[in-house]
Structure 1
Amino acid sequence: MALPNFGLVLWLLLCVVLVGWLQSRVTRHAQLILLLLIRNEHAALLAFQILFLPGVALHEGSHWIVARLLGMRDMEISLWPRRQRDGSVRLGYVKTEHMNFARAAFVGTAPLMAGIVVVSLISARLGLGRLWTAAAAAEAMQVRAVLAEVWLRPDLWLWVYLLFACSNTMLPSASDRRALPAAAAVLGGLALGGYLLGMLPLVRAAFGGVAWGLASATNVALCITILLDLLLLPLLYLLETLLWRLRGGQLLRA
C-alpha cells in the first residue's frame, strides 16, 4: 500500500490549523462564561481547570510518560492552572532536563498523538465511525439510524464531555510548538536517508498500511473535533451574550 499522498498531508495540516483556531475560540468563550457565572477570577480559573481536567491530564501525562520512556528522570509535572503575563492561561506543565532535538520531537508531539488515540477510541465507542461512513456515502436512512442509536446511549453525555475536554487540549501548546521543527527535521532526515539508500519502496511496502491507518485515524479525530466545536461555538456565544446582559456588562463583583 502506498504512503499517504501530499494532498492528504496538506488536508491534515489545514485541519490542524482549523482545530487550533476553534480551540482558541472555545476556550476563550468558556473562560468568559465561567467568569460571568462565578464573578471571581481565581475561582473561575479553578473551574476552567476542572472543566478541562481530563484533557489536561492526558496532555501533560503523555509528555511525562514519553519523557520517562526516553530515559529522562529529572522532571516536574503540575496540573495547577496559572495565568501568564500575556493574560493567557497555562493549565499545566512538565519540566524536563535539557533535551536533544530527537527527544524534543517525541516529547513535544506526544499530546497530539495521545489525543488522536483517545478521540478515535471515544468515536469508536459511540459508533461515530459508522456515522462518518454513512454520511460520506450519503445514506440518509443509515445516518438517521446511527444517530438514533447514539442518542439513546445512557452514557452519551459522559463520552461527549470527555471528547470535548480531550480534543480541545490535544494540540501542542506554545512551548510544545518549539519541538515541531525538531519533529519535522527527524521525519525529513529519515525520509532523505531512505531516499538516498533506495529504501523508499521497502518502506512503502512495510509501513504503507500503518501510515494510511494513522492518517485515517488522524483525519477522523480532527474532523470530529471540528464538527463538535462548530456545534458548540454558537451555544457558547449565545450563553455568553445572555450572561453579559444579565450581569450588566460587569465581569467581576463590584
Structure 2
Amino acid sequence: MPEWAVNCILIAISIWPLIRIERWIHRHVQGLGLLLTNNPQAAVLIYYLIFVPGVALHEVSQFLLAKLLGVEVKQFRIWPEEQQGVIRLGLVEIDQRKTDTVRATLIGVIPLVTGIAMIAWIGNARFDVEILFTALSTGDLPTIAEGIREFLRAPDFWLWFYLLFAIANAMLPEEHDEINWWIIVAPAAGLIVFLLVLDLGILVQAWLEGPFTLLTEAVAFALWMSLGIDAFMWALLSVAEFIFSRILQRELEYN
C-alpha cells in the first residue's frame, strides 16, 4: 500500500476518537476547576486560562482570514462568555448574508489548518519524536523506557507540551462554523479526474507520492500527536478528579 494511502487511513482513524476525547477534556477541565474552587466563575477562569493559547490561535486566524477575504466580522472576542448555557471561550461571527459558501468554508476551516501546522512544527522542531518511535517499535521495555526518558529531556518540554495541548483542544471546527467540506474535496478530486482523462496519470502519481504524501504525513503526525497528548491528559484528569473528590468530599455530575 502506498505511503499516502496509509497516511489517509491513519487520519481517518484518528478523527472520531479525537473529537470524542476533546469534548470529554473540555467538560472535565471545567468540572475539575469547579471541584477545586467550588466557584463557577473561578472554574470558568481556570478553564479559559488553560486553553487561551489555542483559543487565541483559533479566533485570530479566523479574524485575519475574514479580513483578508473581505468578509464583514460582526463579533470578535477571545474571552469566555456563556451562550445558551454553554461557555464559549471565544467567537468570530461573520455576516453570513454578505458572504458566500466558499469564503465561509475557508474561514471555518482555517483554525484546523493553522492548528495542525503549529502542532506539526512544534512536534518536529522541539521534540525528538524519531527516538521515541524507534524505541516503541522495538517492543523492548528497557529500550522503550530509555526512549521515553530521552524524549522528555527536550528543552522546555512541559511548556511545549502545554502549548500542544491547548492548541489541539481548540483547533477543531465549532458548531457555528459554516463549513461545506465538498468545496475542499471536490476541486482536488476533479483535478485528478481531469489529469487521468488526459492520460496524465504520471503527474497524478508524482503528486500523490510527493507533495500529497508529505502533506498527509504532517496531518497524520499532528492528529496522532494530539490524540496521544489528550490520552495522557484524560488519564491525568481522571486521577485528579478521583483524588480531589475524595479529599474535598465533593462529587461531580456530568450531563
SS in 2 for 1:94: strand
Give the CA deviation at 1:156: 1.1
Give the RMSD, CA atoms, in angstroms: 2.6
Alpha-carbon deviations, 1:163-219, whole Å to 9, x = none?
11111111111122x41xx23234214423542463663344346422111110111
Alpha-carbon deviations, 1:52-83, whole Å to 9, x = none?
00010111112112222222244531011123
Instruction: Give 1:227's aligned residue.
Output: 228
Q: Which deviates more from structure 2 when the two are superposed, residues 135-144 or residues 71-80? A: 135-144
Instruction: Give 2:26's aligned residue.
Output: 27
Q: Determine which structure has greater relative contact order: mean sequence separation of CA pairs < 8 Å that are 6+ residues apart, divided by chain length.
A: 1
Structure 1 residues 143, 204: CA separation in 2 closer, same or farther (over 3 Å shift)? same
Q: Which runs of 5+ in 2 are unaligned?
A: none
Contact 1:119–1:166 (Cα < 8 Å) also in 2: yes
Q: Which runs of 5+ in 1 are unaligned?
A: none
- Give the letter for the 2:79 counterpart: W
Structure 1 residues 74, 52: CA separation in 2 closer, same or farther (over 3 Å shift)? closer
What is the TM-score with the length of structure 1 in the denominator?
Answer: 0.84
Instruction: Give 1:243's aligned residue.
Output: 244
Contact 1:102–1:183 (Cα < 8 Å) also in 2: no
Instruction: Give 2:190's aligned residue.
Output: 192
> In structure 2, what is the Cα distance between the partners aligned to 1:144 and 1:237?
24
- Give the letter for the 2:110 counterpart: A
Instruction: Give 2:126's aligned residue.
Output: 126
Tell me the number of residue pairs that the alignment of Structure 1 and Structure 2 aligns: 245
Q: What does 1:4-23 correspond to in 2, within 5 Å?
A: 4-5=4-5, 8-23=7-22
Structure 1 residues 175, 53: CA separation in 2 closer, same or farther (over 3 Å shift)? same
Contact 1:3–1:211 (Cα < 8 Å) also in 2: no
Instruction: Give 1:150's aligned residue.
Output: 151
Structure 1 residues 94, 117: CA separation in 2 closer, same or farther (over 3 Å shift)? same
Instruction: Give 1:113's aligned residue.
Output: 113
What is the TM-score with the length of structure 2 in the denominator?
Answer: 0.84
Instruction: Give 2:49's aligned residue.
Output: 50
